[in-house]
Amino acid sequence: MQSRLAYVEASLEVAKQSQSIFTRLYPESAIAAATYADTLRAQKMTPLSPIAGLPISIKDLLDVAGEPTLAGSTVLRQTQPAKQDAPVVTRLRQAGAAIIGKTNMTEFAYSGVGINPHYGTAPNPADTAIARIPGGSSSGAAVSVATGLCVAAIGSDTGGSIRIPAALCGLTGFKPTASRVSKAGTVPLSFTLDTICALAHTVDDCITMDSIIAENLLSITALPLKSLRLAVPQTLFLEDMDQHVSSAFSKALTCLSAAGASIIETPMQLLAEYRSMAMFSAPEAYSWHRHLLAENFEEYDPRVAQRIQLGAHVSAADYIDMHTARAEWITRMGALLAPFDAILMPTVPIVAPEIAPLIASDDAFFHANGLLLRNTASINILDGCAISIPCHETGSLPVGLSIAGAAGTDARILAIARVVESALSAIRRM
């Protein structure tokens, strides 16, 4: 069995050459954590946790004591260093994680594409022939895991920022109910929708990470696939799918049905209403950025600045009305979801687009961004939880299957994901 130290040292060596994946590295503390974990193992002592001594990455919007938190920007380089670690970082350290570095991201987490003009864009490892986007905003997080540099990564999800890169890079990403994980010590995008969460290779790995970073431990019991009623909404989620995603999603549903799950196609037209409540990020981001924008506009990614500035035109009355409408919609959606164990959807309706055309064209960029965020963002507005698991055939471009539910159903969604992942293993081996 490879030592933790050897794994961490190898990861750090590659990470030093991968400037577009990481914005900062922590070699000394990571090596110390790995060395300590190896010592415990050699002495046959109980490790601090399953991730003790293993390489973990954290997104560049989490505070680490003694340094400014950049959130993928250059404008925050001169801000005051964080006085203490974010609670999530503290929990990782207490678990013995070898935090090897902070990962690159969409500037201020404001897109699902993952392009960053300041630090570069790490290409999606799923395609070595064509430079494709990794997805965002947790772009470096996904690439750090997909390349094998880390066993898991901490990111954030405001409209899909953990699930989108997980889907595009062939990983598993879990967005818990937002209140379960502390957001303290993070640079916010939307106070209402932000969620701190993790991506990894498997459902069980995501369960392990959730048990470390969340405020409350889940009790996850086995669920037989044959007992499950899984809804497939026909409204919105299945529109504009490319052929590869459509085929992979259809095969996944056929596989689950053959294994005994009840796959129920249902209109769920109420889902489409979420779009009228999807403007929380702009006014909330503008409230945080308005002074920085006024003084440092030229340092921002123009596409990010453009979206933040939209918040300047949202009135207080409209903002309050949006919160009221959201609360009412969540109640109505709860009644609609009650007969089902979960809903299924393609995490994103397209495979990872090429990077170059999206850098070259605003129209192409915003069109792709809209498609990438469309399905996932509905769950954030719902205040729900969701997990994306791979459902593509090995060797083909990654496709994510999303399993989602209402707020507080985290344990059930993860239990369903575990049994669905097992059922889909036959497809993954094709």
One-letter amino acid of 351? V
- Would residue 16 show up in a list of annotated catalytic residues for this protein? no
Partnered with residue 405 across adjacent β-strands are 385
One-letter amino acid of 317? A
Inter-residue contact 127 to 169 (CB < 8 Å): no
Peptide bond into 137 cis (omega under 30): yes
Inter-residue contact 156 to 181 (CB < 8 Å): no
Partnered with residue 403 across adjacent β-strands are 344, 387
Q: Counting beta carbons within 10 angstroms of the beta carbon of residue 94, is it exposed (0 to 12), middle (13 to 18) or buried (19 or more)?
A: exposed
- Would residue 137 show up in a list of annotated catalytic residues for this protein? yes
Q: Where are the alpha helices (DSSP H) in 297-409?
A: 302-309, 316-337, 355-360, 362-381
Closest alpha carbon to 153 in 92, 95, 112: 92
| SS3 label, residue 16 | helix
Catalytic residue, candidates 11, 49, 138, 161 = 161
3-state helix, strand, coil in the chain (%, to 5): 45, 15, 40
Inter-residue contact 393 to 248 (CB < 8 Å): yes
Catalytic residue, candidates 57, 59, 73, 144 = 59
Alpha-carbon span 139 to 151, nearest angstrom: 15
- Would residue 183 show up in a list of annotated catalytic residues for this protein? no
Catalytic residue, candidates 18, 137, 139, 190 = 137
| Catalytic annotation, residues | 59, 137, 161
